[in-house]
Amino acid sequence: MPEESAALPTEELFREDARLTECSARITAIDDNGGLQLDRTVFYPQGGGQAGDAGELLLADGSRIAIADTRKGAAPGTIVHLPAEGQGEALARLRPGEVLTARIDWERRHRHMRFHTATHLLCALVPHPVDGCSITAAYARLDFHMTDPLDKEAIGAGLARLVAAAHPVRQRWISEAELDADPSLVRSMSVQPPRGSGRVRLVEVEGVDLQPCGGTHVANTSEIGAVTVRKIEKKSAQTRRVVLEFAN
Ligand SMILES: [Zn+2]
């Protein structure tokens, strides 16, 4: 069972409901480096600029495995939960097939969600192509392909206005056929949709921004809270980097 099930895609519960903090799951594979694969998970794997989740796995005997990070696995659709250092004994007792509860560090994830949604607001305020993105619990960083200088005060004020306006944030799946049938929809997106998988996940900050995105977001811009521009850097002749942080 371990060999064949190792290539099974992991059911991505966070994709439909970013607010799920835990789920029951079964171990499908244990990698040579100790990475754990589950049949389903609430842990977001690092991707799209957003950091992977941390958290813990609660075992039936009451013990816990601390998870330090989450990554995409080598096989398509698989997700690997990476245990924190120093848990060799507990890990050695694990077997594929074992049922457990997977629970994310919600405080950390919620910061990812708040920052991630703030980067969508930034896309609306700075209408230039994005060529780099990093979202962590401590800061969010977005690189814009542009040559003009950016006004730190104006961006900070724009973010505060959009957060205060409490815009709903929604997501939906759309087929590539539907996208092809509606060129104006594609034109209205701040980021162009990837092609080839048959369907695209759209994230809409109502009245503000529409773009394809697979990350986790808050449900309303008011949930982002007070976010400020830490700095704006000229990374290259054609790149302006905006770094956000939480006000408190
Ligand atoms: Zn997003």
pLDDT at 194: 83
Three-class secondary structure assignment of the chain: CHHHHCCCCCEEHHHHCCCCCEEEEEEEEECCCCCEEECEECCCCCECCECCCCEEEEECCCCEEEEEEEEECCCCCCEEEEECCCCHHHHHCCCCCCEEEEEECHHHHHHHHHHHHHHHHHHHHCCCCEEEEEECCCCEEEEEECCCCCCHHHHHHHHHHHHHCCCEEEEEEEEHHHHHCCHHHHHCCCCCCCCCCCEEEEEEECCCEEEECCCCCCCEHHHHCCEEEEEEEEEECCEEEEEEEECC
Predicted confidence band of residue 32 (pLDDT cuts 50, 70, 90): confident
Q: What's the CA-to-centroid distance between 206 and ligand 1, angstroms? A: 13
Q: How far apart are the C-alpha atoms of 52 and 135, rounded to whole Å? A: 10
Q: Among 33-42, 108-117, 167-176, 188-197, name the one with the lowest average pLDDT.
A: 188-197
pLDDT in tens, 50-62: 999 999 999 999 9
Q: What's the CA-to-centroid distance between 147 and ligand 1, angstroms? A: 24
Q: What's the CA-to-centroid distance between 166 and ligand 1, angstroms? A: 17
Q: What's the CA-to-centroid distance between 117 and ligand 1, angstroms? A: 6
Mean pLDDT, rounded, for 198-226: 95
pLDDT at 240: 97
Q: What's the CA-to-centroid distance between 210 and ligand 1, angstroms? A: 10
Q: What is the mean pLDDT of the chain?
A: 93
